[in-house]
Amino acid sequence: MNSINTSAFHTEEYRIQQRLGVAEGIGEQTKGFIRPFMPEQHRAFFCSSPFMVAGVVDSHGHPWAIPFWGEHTNVDDHHYIESPSPTQLSLALSDNVGWLINDAAQLDVNTGSKIALLGLQLSTRRRNRLNGLILHNRGGVIRVQVEQSYGNCPQYIHPRDTLPRDVAPALPASSITNSNVKGQYAQSNGLTKKDALLVAQADTFYIASRHSKFTADPRHGLDVSHRGGKNGFIKVDGDTLLFPDFSGNKFFNTLGNIESDGRVGLCFVDDNNGDILLVNGKASILWSHPKLAAFTGAERFVQVVIQNVTRVFAIYPFKHPIIERSIHTEHTGAW
């Protein structure tokens, strides 16, 4: 049995791998795969991404999954991301992203804070992951130090175009009140009917999760991941969401963090109007469930009890019309 001290995975990730009988194989497979630096291919990929998805915590330590993009929304203009070295990324973020971070979500992007980044090229279904630390945040530029960098399987990503859309201008920082409707966003403790419909019809979302303790160990940080399936693969039941966990790379980054801490942030993008729906809650893994055997492709379910919901209006600067459905979702179910 491999020692957890020599594994690229933290204790809870490793325990899930052991539970499912894959720990030894994954340990061998990932030797040298999860790196403390970006290979040249990953550096070029990140710097060519028109957008990324970030995992960042708020002042209470709760993770949020939010999109990052630059001031120029032409999909061929990617100058907002630079890689000054194999261990660093520099992100010159749009004023709208700064407003989203500082006002709508009030996230912790101070020097030394943990951050996770997911780079995506939806048309080719390619994605790469990066977990690290914020070196500095000044003038809308966030510089990130790599702790872990690795590729990810694209199985459940639906090929999509990335096209620009008109968005609302950024509001001045701290210009909003504490009323329920706050300028360009609304907050509540649960989903509205419009929110619930978006979630129930979704075929894609992003999920940020965290280890219970942030330490100098690179395994003890944040993670942000893509989840995809057929339209309707997420069940909305009042203040609870239920979605399947399909077979993937068997790293169990998200599930391991759920076992460690449980706090998660989910992100849904409304392609019709550019709204971003951010759902925060407490997650748990359901290893058994009355509906599990009948849900095609599901190996277990993840349940999220919703605690807070934020809808940001008309801010996301891209549209992602679908090109075709991922063939891997053909053999998965929906509610």
Domain regions of the chain by residue span: 4-164+180-329
Residue ranges of the chain whose pLDDT lies below 50 = 1-5, 174-183
Please report, as a single letter, which amino acid is at residue 180.
Answer: N
Residue 172 has a CB neighbour count (10 Å cut-off) of: 10
Q: Is 306 exposed, middle or buried (0-12, 13-18, 19+ CB in 10 A)?
A: buried
Write the pLDDT tens digit of every residue in 236-277. Answer: 999 999 999 998 888 999 999 999 999 999 999 999 999 999
Q: DSSP secondary-structure letter at 120?
A: E
Return the structure tokens found at 159: 């090929």
The model's pTM: 0.93
Q: What pLDDT sits at residue 156? A: 87
Q: What pLDDT sits at residue 86? A: 97
Q: What pLDDT sits at residue 6? A: 64
Q: How far is CA 84 from CA 33, 98, 143, 189, in A?
A: 22, 22, 10, 41
Domain 4-164+180-329 -> CATH class:
mainly beta
Contact 50, 317 (CB under 8 A): no
